Amino acid sequence: MASTPHSDPTTPNFDIVAAYRTLLASDPEMTMPVAAIEALVEALTHSTANTTMETLELLECQTEILKASIPNPISLSAGTDLFQRYIITTLNQPSRTGVNILGPSGDFRAIRNHLLSNGRLFVERAKASREKIASFGRHFVRDGVTVLTNGGSRVVGALLHSAAESSFTRFRVIYVLPPPSSSDSKEGEKIVAGLRSRNIPVATIPDSAVGYCISKVDMVIVGAEGVVENGGIISRMGTYQLGLLAKSKGKPLYVVAESHKFVRLYPLDQFDLPIEQMVLEFKVTDDKQGSASEATEDEGVADMNGGVTSTKCSGVSAADAVDFTPPDLISGIITEAGVLTPSAVSEELIKIWF
Residues that bind other proteins (CB under 8 A): 34, 37, 82, 85-86, 89-90, 92-94, 96-97, 99, 101-103, 107, 110-111, 113-115, 118, 121-122, 125-126, 129, 139-140, 142, 259-260, 262, 331-332, 335-344, 347-352, 354
Taking the C-alpha atoms of residue 62 and residue 66, their distance in angstroms, rounded to an integer, is 6
How many other β-carbons are positioned within 10 Å of the β-carbon of residue 213? 15
Amino acid at 58: L
For other proteins, the closer CB: 149 or 335: 335
Please, what is the minimum distance in Å from the beta carbon of residue 46 to other proteins? 20
Please, what is the minimum distance in Å from the beta carbon of residue 289 to other proteins? 50
Please, what is the minimum distance in Å from the beta carbon of residue 301 to other proteins? 36
For other proteins, the closer CB: 238 or 342: 342
Residue 55 near residue 10, CB atoms below 8 Å: no
Ramachandran class of 268: left when φ > 0, alpha when ψ lies in -120 to 50, beta otherwise: alpha
Please, what is the minimum distance in Å from the beta carbon of residue 260 to other proteins? 5
Taking the C-alpha atoms of residue 214 and residue 261, their distance in angstroms, rounded to an integer, is 28
Please, what is the minimum distance in Å from the beta carbon of residue 7 to other proteins? 29
The edge-to-edge listing of strands for the beta sheet with 233-236 is 226-227, 233-236, 322-325
Residue 266 near residue 226, CB atoms below 8 Å: no
Return the closest-CA partner of residue 79 out of 30, 6, 14, 134: 30
Distance (Å) of CA 338 to CA 142, 143, 256, 260, 345: 18, 21, 10, 14, 12
Burial label, 190 (beta-carbon count in 10 A; 0-12, 13-18, 19+): middle
What DSSP state is assigned to residue 179?
P
Backbone angles phi, psi at 352, to 5 degrees: -95, -20
Please, what is the minimum distance in Å from the beta carbon of residue 122 to other proteins? 6
Please, what is the minimum distance in Å from the beta carbon of residue 249 to other proteins? 14
For other proteins, the closer CB: 21 or 85: 85
Please, what is the minimum distance in Å from the beta carbon of residue 102 to other proteins? 5
For other proteins, the closer CB: 82 or 265: 82
For other proteins, the closer CB: 14 or 108: 108
DSSP 12-53: TT--HHHHHHHHHHH-TT--HHHHHHHHHHHHHHH----SHH
For other proteins, the closer CB: 254 or 303: 254
Residue 79 near residue 36, CB atoms below 8 Å: yes
For other proteins, the closer CB: 148 or 349: 349
Question: Which residues does residue 148 pair with via DSSP β-bridges, in sequence order?
Answer: 174, 220
Please, what is the minimum distance in Å from the beta carbon of residue 314 to other proteins? 31
For other proteins, the closer CB: 111 or 160: 111
For other proteins, the closer CB: 118 or 309: 118
